[in-house]
Chain A
């Protein structure tokens, strides 16, 4: 925020103007309201928001301005400072204007402040006290509307309280790109409302509650939960996705009740996704694991920490190569280091992977030159989106990219297999069919631009090539766009981009929480903390040993486990049964491991099958650090007590180590951090205590520009003989544990829908059909379908896992590209469409006809 910048040096060169008789300076083009704020004069406002365009709706910021034509009242939020402007913010005329505007706003505003959730932190209350008339002359009946109407599952609208500042509607259309709320009617009946039958079902709807200057928009999950004066607050970072959106955690009576976005200039600009904002409900879930559990006969029974860690220690006596660790993206950086040290430095196994076979090779995330979000979104840059829809996976990042393209003249090249939320903004859209994306970029790299490649038109290739080879700074946001194809195609594509544009910088769009921290701390095979490649010559300070073999990634671990080659599997908040794309493999692996140890907060599909479950503290319950998508270190703060006997993950690692007869060497977080600074080169200069007070946090810039070996690009996969290639990706609201444990969020997942191209709809003769049966092997689902022009021909686009639907069952293991069969659903006609979306549990038709 400009308000926190220093006031002297920089502004002297700007635009001089006179503020209440004082000579001050504004920057070029700065709005008067901002310039005054920066010079220590706060002008009251309702509609103006520093992250949105000004509209001048509320007139609260009227000040007396003289530009040489005599003093006049002007809205300071609409007025760029001009040289030698005379501004009076405290004159009688200004005060009278403020007084009048407030009296006018209060004519229809109900005085139900004691009931209102905003009461106590309400800008209208504050401004009425500070600038208002004190007494009202209005004795007539106020305007009445039906008290709160739910405009979405998460947001209630009380139109009586609305002062028509246009903040929420501007946010919805300008920032979020979901113009689902708007002003309707005229005059004193003007009101904000949704369109008929279209709820305000934006992923970002909670932001409107935060920016509403009155209590017109309130959040259903926070409704009447607490009052502002009994909230305690602490700054932290959201662990919902890897963007690392900065948040303020607010608790009352030792319960997290609200999360607000923190205006971090470098990261999320105060915007949060609803998942970031409301996920804290999971902390209070009744299903939390609150004490250590151990398997007795066929059930899990509560036990003591000492007994549980003793069991774990016994299980870890096995040969190091027969021990594996999966997960760790939920953990804080410190906990990740502690577990990495336990696994690699004490036990000595390299079978450690934080990604659940749904990410990308660790070397790509660690070794490519990293861009910050600010660099990606820099004005005039070129952004390549090579991956999934950021709105579904990294929603706060998608808002930054959206702003960069719309407002700052960045150019977007979209290389995705289907339309994303940013498609309308993209200058070039390359829609590669599954398995072809590498081929497409190799063609550009080799200047083979005259012919279509894998369904991508030659003209699009040429347009992309021009931008990729252009002079403008290029940054690549890359991730796993399709969970039903091998990650190597994405790697091939990055290899091609490296040869096209050697100076490009990269932002790895891996979704899962602190996954970047986990990779940096060595929770991935072949690496030690700090991105050091493991080898015989390399050691880590304070570590007794390092792994003596090259370990396997999650898929390899699961394969080894299924073959009976893993004795002990530790799950660090990971749920392979729920998340690994190959569900059959993970089931067989969990089945064949002799001891499964889960460090988790909930009994997930996997941890409920564990032999020992160690209860871990969740987000908001333990201090630590978070490494976000750009390598920025920001604090994770404890605000509430973890329930029962749950502990921070690093403490669990230390306990387990003690039970094994080793000592990890740290007993407090400070000791752990000191050791990390000593052992990990990239953390050597981190000011740990200063982390929580730093504005944006330091960016770790290890300047790795590894000469990555991409190898020969994989050939295009063969066309499936029959059926459709699968395109499977994630939705924000899915069947994930955290969402499922948050009562307000659990119902937000939409029913599964199959999307396919118009030509396939015709080819499958779906004109009159309502449902399609998709099947692979013995699994099948009857799904409603949508014809989507962005989907390539012979491709079926499905969400991976929603309540009641699991596309993983349609994936066959081993193939580099998956395909399914589709046909009109039997016995389902348009009449049955009403209960659509409920997939059948079993296929009625088990005939083998037409399968692969």
Chain B
């Protein structure tokens, strides 16, 4: 036995062949087709809006507070009564993400109480200076169709702007299987009200839908 066991592993792996997938990036490359991405890949953020165009962000700074890379800078301000930016008293007056720091951990998305910030699947955005690396609110906010803005240095592919909304959140706020099939989120600009995610393991216990979620 001894060291021979190690060699055996090596030989067995050589025989299995290469598993590294081919990834050809760049629009000028020979093939511009890229490997499919995992459904919940963490990419560039967007700030979402409600169906009526109001911003979902209320400037609560929870994302900035939870960010382990300290890359989010948010300032809240009082909503102007004649031209409110978001429902309620407060809106995100400044919203900046520094992508030189962001590690795409998605904690901001989990912390967000209004599903304002979510992530797309775009991860190829090769800015060439530091100013471009700091995305401002104007750049992060979805456009009038509810789709992410496409900046000149970003390499967007079909499908990468799908699934960027609150739909990405867990099916129920408390993660209970009893909420399977229950819509727990608001309608969103460009998407409307999404269908709930299905397929969670059902352990129906004492919890019943509607017990705690007022907007459920």
Contact = CB atoms under 8 A, between A and B. Distances in A.
Interface string B205-216: 000001110100
Nearest to B210: A139
A642 to B, nearest CB: 22
A118 to B, nearest CB: 12
Contacts of A768: none
Interface stretch (B16-24, B56-64, B97-105, B155-163): B56-64
Interface stretch (A96-104, A221-229, A483-491): A221-229
A224 B61 CA distance: 10
A151 to B, nearest CB: 16
A114 B60 contact: yes
A136 B212 contact: yes
B151 interface: no
A792 B19 CA distance: 100
B89 A115 contact: yes
B88 A115 contact: yes
Contacts of B65: 120, 227, 229-230
Contacts of B77: 224
A411 B113 CA distance: 56
A367 interface: no
Contact of A229 (B61, B76, B113): B61
B90 interface: yes
Contacts of B58: 114-115
Interface residues of B, number: 19
A119 interface: yes
A230 B59 CA distance: 13
B89 A114 contact: no
B114 interface: yes
A147 B81 CA distance: 12
A137 interface: yes
B109 to A, nearest CB: 15
Contacts of A114: 58, 60, 62, 113-114
Nearest to B112: A114
A377 B64 CA distance: 47
B90 A224 contact: yes
B61 A227 contact: yes
A229 B62 CA distance: 9
B138 interface: no
Nearest to A156: B89
B78 interface: yes
A230 B60 CA distance: 11
Given A112-B88, A114-B114, A223 B61 contact: no
Contacts of A832: none
Contacts of A223: 78
A147 B89 contact: yes
A60 to B, nearest CB: 23
Contact of B211 (A113, A115, A137): A137
Contacts of A424: none
Contacts of B60: 114-115, 119, 227
B78 A224 contact: yes
Nearest to B214: A139
Contacts of B90: 115, 224
A139 B64 contact: no
Contacts, number: 42
A283 B58 CA distance: 28
A771 B40 CA distance: 75
B78 A139 contact: no
Nearest to A224: B76
A223 B79 CA distance: 11
Nearest to B76: A224
Nearest to A252: B75
Interface in B42-71: 58-62, 64-65
A230 B88 contact: no
A112 B214 CA distance: 13
Contacts of B61: 226-227, 229-230
* Size band of the interface chain A makes with B: 10 to 19
Chain A CB within 10 Å, residue with most, of B59, B61, B77: B61
Interface string A453-469: 00000000000000000
A638 to B, nearest CB: 23
B97 to A, nearest CB: 16
Nearest to B90: A115
A148 interface: yes
Interface in B113-158: 113-114
Q: Which of A223, A224, A225 has the most CB of B within 10 A?
A: A224
A219 to B, nearest CB: 13
A135 interface: yes
Nearest to B113: A114
A135 B64 contact: no
Nearest to B174: A135
Contact of B89 (A119, A148, A225, A230): A148
Interface in A76-116: 112-115
Nearest to A228: B65
A253 to B, nearest CB: 8
Nearest to B59: A224
Nearest to B66: A229
A139 B210 CA distance: 8
Interface string B162-174: 0000000000000
A229 B63 CA distance: 11
A176 to B, nearest CB: 27
A139 B212 CA distance: 7
Interface string B75-99: 0111000000000111000000000
Contacts of B89: 115, 147-148, 224
Nearest to A220: B78
Interface string B194-205: 000000000000
A136 B174 CA distance: 13
Contacts of A135: 211-212
A264 to B, nearest CB: 30
Interface in A112-132: 112-115, 119-120
Tell me which of B58, B59, B89 has the highest count of chain A C-beta atoms within 10 A of its own C-beta.
B89
A112 B211 CA distance: 19
B64 A230 contact: yes
Contacts of A139: 210-212, 214
Contacts of B76: 224-225, 227
Contacts of A226: 61
Contacts of A148: 89
B85 to A, nearest CB: 12
Contacts of A227: 60-61, 65, 76
Nearest to A114: B60
A139 B60 CA distance: 25
A112 B114 CA distance: 11
Contacts of B214: 139
A223 B59 CA distance: 12
A339 B65 CA distance: 44
Closest 9 CB pairs of A and B: A114-B60, A224-B76, A227-B61, A229-B65, A114-B113, A115-B90, A224-B90, A115-B88, A115-B58
Given A114-B58, A114-B60, A137-B211, 4 more contacts: A115-B89, A120-B65, A226-B61, A230-B64
13 contacts: A114-B58, A114-B114, A115-B60, A115-B89, A135-B212, A137-B211, A139-B214, A147-B89, A224-B76, A224-B77, A225-B76, A227-B76, A230-B65
Interface of A: 112-115, 119-120, 135-137, 139, 147-148, 223-227, 229-230
